[in-house]
Structure 1
């Protein structure tokens, strides 16, 4: 039978873990910013993937550490909700998966992924992509074409459907797309 004093170091380690993860993620973000500033996109993507792995560990620490971990780092992913708005690292990973797709098109994809099965207006998608042009429908059409072509390369050619001045991500394709966009 384990004595109570043997359990204390384990609890202390669980208390320290979220702080260490916060420092590590901050350090990786700084390294990623330097890589981007120097124009080394490949290194920036690799650092971004490492940061995503740390966030997964942080999520586990939240489960193990309970409320205390959430207090120390409120930005931790919620284990009960597997989708979060896209962060820079998620966009970098998606750009690595779909190299022919522009940054703004990735934002459209994540916006569609937020509500699979629902038609989202062209205006809302243009807003998600931060398009400020009066020709936003044409620009959005280009982004959707890029996405469809790239998704077709991964067996998801019919994932995006067109409505009347709107687009939707098919609900039955959302899980496959989430798995595709999640780091392995």
Structure 2
């Protein structure tokens, strides 16, 4: 499975971007929030991805941070919510807003997204209740993933140890802030593990 892409942003449109990775252009669908955050054409980008395999297509979805990808996975687990509808929701609601809407049973907030009617919004709120965590945790995880190869490797290490993306992002972000830019991977992972265990 393709878990992330690092390359040059070749182009963006209303609903997707093309990332050039060693001469191969990957078309990725993304929320407007992610497309706005990835920077100018020609710049280097790192996007987390989710590959959906269907009988007639392979579709790659991209996310600016682990919390958005995790929210996408939960949304697409709900019957009637495909990848494009999930992105429409994430274009209107960031992971914190989505967690808040679900926690409060606010179907009207979810129904603000294009293609989401009242019945589908109610199903999303009902089925995701208790699964998205607290809005405060979603807020911590909703911040962009730490930049730099060392921070990304530390995120991967924590994920491999079984930490949820939200927990891993919060711990690595805190550790990276405390240690500064010159931190080694070993030091970053050790401190992040201590912070995650608190």
Q: Same fold per TM (> 0.5)? A: no
Give the TM-score of the pair, scaled to structure 2: 0.30
The structure whose residues are more often helix, as a share, is 1
How does the TM-score come out when normalised to structure 1?
0.32
